[in-house]
Structures are given as C-alpha cells and as structure tokens.
Amino acid sequence: MLAFAALCWSGNHVIARAVSNHVPPWSLNCIRWLLVAAIMAVIAGPAIKRDWPLVKSHAGTLTFLGVTGGGLFGTLQYVGLKYTGALNMGVMNSVAPALIALASFLIFRDAVGLVQILGIGISLTGVLAIISRLDPAILQSLSFNQGDLIIVLNMGLWAIYSACLRLRPPIALTTFLFTLSVPAALVTAPAAWLEYVGGMPLQADFQTIGALLYAAIVSSILSYVCWGRGVEALGVTRAGAFLHLVPLFAALLATSLLGEQLGAHHLIGFALILAGVTMAVRRPRSAKRPLRRAPSPAARRPARRT
C-alpha cells in the first residue's frame, strides 16, 4: 500500500508537468477537491453523519489542515511544475521527512537531537545541489529556477501540515477526506475564478479530464487511503521511509514518458537527501527507551497469544 501511494504521487507529478501549459493550476486543484468532496459525500455519508459532532467541535483545526495540506500545497505544486521538471519535483520530495521533523520541533517541541539537525542540514544541501545544478555561480547570484524555489517552499508547507496532523480528531478516514476537500476547494475558488475571467478557462478535452480524474481519484483518494492504512500497520517512522520511493518512481516515469534527462546534480542531490533523511528520522537519544530492569519471575512467563 505504501509503495502504491508513492507511485500514485509520482504519477501526479508527471501528469501535472505534462499538462502544465494547458490546464490552469488553481482551477485544476479547485475542481480536483470538489470532485473528492462529491465522491466522499456519496460513498461515506453515514460516516460523515456519525462524525459530524466531532467535525463541528474541531472545525478550526480541520479547516487549517484543508487549506494548507489540500488547497495551498496542491496548487503550489502545480504552479511549480510549470517552471521545473517532474524529475526535480520527485527528487526534492525526499526532503519532506526532514522538514517534518523540523516543523514538529518548532511547533510542538518534539525532541530533535544533534544527529537529526545534522541530517536536516545535509538534506537541504542536497536540495541546493539540485536547484543550483552544481553551479556555484547560480548560488552566488541567487538565480534559481523559480519552479524549484516554489517546490522547496511548498515542501515546507507540507511539513507544517504533516506535523499538525496529530491535531486531527478521531474521525473516520473517509470523513477526514471530506472535511479536507471542502476548505481546500473553497480557498482555491477565488483564484480559479480569476483564471477563468482572465482568459484561462478549463477546457473540456482529454488532457484536462484525464488530469482531473487522476488527481481526484488516484492522487487524492486511493493514495491517501493506502498511505493511511500503511501508517496504521507500520507506524509513521517506518512508513516515512517509503517517501524515498517517490523520486525513484518519478525518475522512471519522467525519463520514460516525458523524455527528461537524469543529470549528475539529480544523483548527487538525491544521495545527499537520502543520507540526511536517514539521519533525521532516527529516534533522538533523549527519546529512546530507558534500559529495562531484569524481569521478575512472574514476568518471565510467556504471554498468552490472542
């Protein structure tokens, strides 16, 4: 399930890049979340009705998660892909676990040790290697590709959203998808309307319909459900390692379907990101379990299997 979710997100990067000059980004994300809301309202009506008291009592939290993780993050991803490649997007996605650790520390004061801080620094170095294309002159002049910068900033937004997921009330996953999709659609609606009146309407053709259906059904519903179930089974730390599959799948799809070239800066950047994230997701020393005392004779008896 976790590997399938990573593949779905990689495919969304490739499709968004392929239609980036054809489909307006704000309109695409707005209609995407409207479709998710409609689908969830149909298939998850009883769960939404049962969870509605909790939804109302946590309306502010759910709105914040929908705006950041659905509306703004989803749209800026499409905007960034207008100016950079799907391969770059996939590789820089690997810095997300390190940024999540940083956001968790800054917002909730989660324990972060020296190794974690060093790992975050190494991961960010890998991102700089990608957006600078290993050219020091680009760093000196700060002439980054604007799409690369948007993607990096968007990863920070995703980190804040992910760190704040702990505030989600105990509602069904389908209910959460519905409550995520409604504010995501509403916050993007004004910009989508400006795109329409500005002469960039959605065109009812194969490219647009295909991108919308993939974004709504595969990238939003199927991948989120698979990821949620996988996290429940393995835990968030072990599941987070599967995010490293996103750049691998993106590289495979972007080079085979879009004809993008895999450069040395991608390989070096990915190696640095992978090394840094591996260090960043390690349990801080202060959070490790203390040494256990020798068990009592009664405790040595084997537990009953259930």
Tell me the domain boundaries of the chain: 2-285
Q: Which residue did the predictor score with more confidence, 208 or 63?
A: 63
The per-residue pLDDT for 143 is 54
pLDDT in tens, 124-155: 787 777 767 777 776 666 556 778 888 888 88
Q: Measure the CA–CA gap between 2 and 229, rounded to whole angstroms.
A: 8
Quick one: which of 113, 155, 157, 158 has its CA closest to 131? 155
C-alpha pair distances (Å), 209 with each of 41, 118, 202, 206, 214: 21, 44, 9, 5, 9
Query: Average pLDDT, stretch 21-30?
Result: 87
The per-residue pLDDT for 298 is 40
pLDDT in tens, 154-183: 888 888 888 888 888 999 988 999 999 999
